[in-house]
Structure 1
Amino acid sequence: MNWETLTSTAQLTDLINASHENPVLIFKHSTRCSISSMALNRLERSWNLEEAQPLTPYYLDLIAHRDVSSAIAAQLGVEHQSPQVVVISDGKAIYNNSHMGISYNDIIKIAKDLSPA
């Protein structure tokens, strides 16, 4: 999986703006949590780059960058969870789920719905 790393609130603002062109996925990962590691592993094992187009995946280490995680909650109106996946399109969170509710199949369905016809 070709993760982009999300490390700053300025970068978050940029990717929210960029989501007007292409949707983005943020995986919020707690490096201290075994459930988060399991959810990350499940997503990475299932990820198919071609199938996931046009999503750009971003990885957030929320222990190292808690301010960015808080900004995601504030700017996108999603309650903080860990682990959590948030899909952003047109500047809005259109999908978010956490823990074992994170579903590759749901994410891919969203990607297909957002793909140009």
Structure 2
Amino acid sequence: MDWKRIENVGQLEDLKKQSQDKPVLIFKHSSRCSISNMAFDRLNRNWKDTDFDKVSPYFLDLISFRDISDQIAREFGVYHQSPQVILIKNGQAVYDNSHMGISYGEIMGKVEG
């Protein structure tokens, strides 16, 4: 799966704009956390090529970019967690979950719902 990378705070405004046309999914990942690795792997295994037509997936390495993670929490009104998924529609966070609560089926249900 080809996740786009978030590497600067300026991208957040672009993501908000992009989410006006198609939902945006952010996966906040900690490479130091085995649960994060497991959740990311599980999401990748379930992802279908047609899902790219429904949602734009983004990946944030929060070890390298903790400041961006903090800004995401402020901008979208979500509590910082790791690992964490945040679904953005029309510039707003409409869903977030973390750890073992990260579920492909649940995410796609929110994308399509």
Which of the five TM-score ranges fits, normalised by the shorter chain? over 0.9
Counterpart CA distance in 2 for 1:106 and 1:50 is 17
Residue number in structure 1 paired with 2:97 = 97
Q: Distance in 1 between matches of 2:46 and 2:32?
A: 22
Which stretches in structure 2 are left out of the alignment for 5+ residues?
Answer: none
Q: What TM-score does the superposition give when structure 1 sets the normalisation length?
A: 0.92
1:45 corresponds in structure 2 to 45
> Among the aligned pairs, what percent are the same residue?
51
Runs (5+) with no aligned partner, structure 1:
none
Superposition TM-score, scaled by structure 2 size: 0.95
Residue aligning to 2:76: 76
Alignment partners' CA distance in 2, 1:70 and 1:20: 23
Most deviating of 58-67 and 14-23: 14-23
Partners of 2:36 and 2:44 lie apart in 1 by 12
What is the aligned length? 113
Alignment RMSD, CA only?
A: 1.0
Contact 1:52 1:111 in 2 (8 A): no
Structure 1 residues 67 and 27 mapped into 2: Cα distance closer, same or farther (>3 Å)?
Answer: same
Runs of 4+ in 1 over 3 A off after TM superposition: none
Q: Any conservation in 2 of the 1:29–1:59 contact (CA below 8 Å)?
A: yes
The reply to whether residue 35 of structure 1 matches residue 57 of structure 2 is: no
What displacement does 1:2 show? 1.5
The answer as to whether partners of 1:53 and 1:112 remain within 8 angstroms in 2 is no
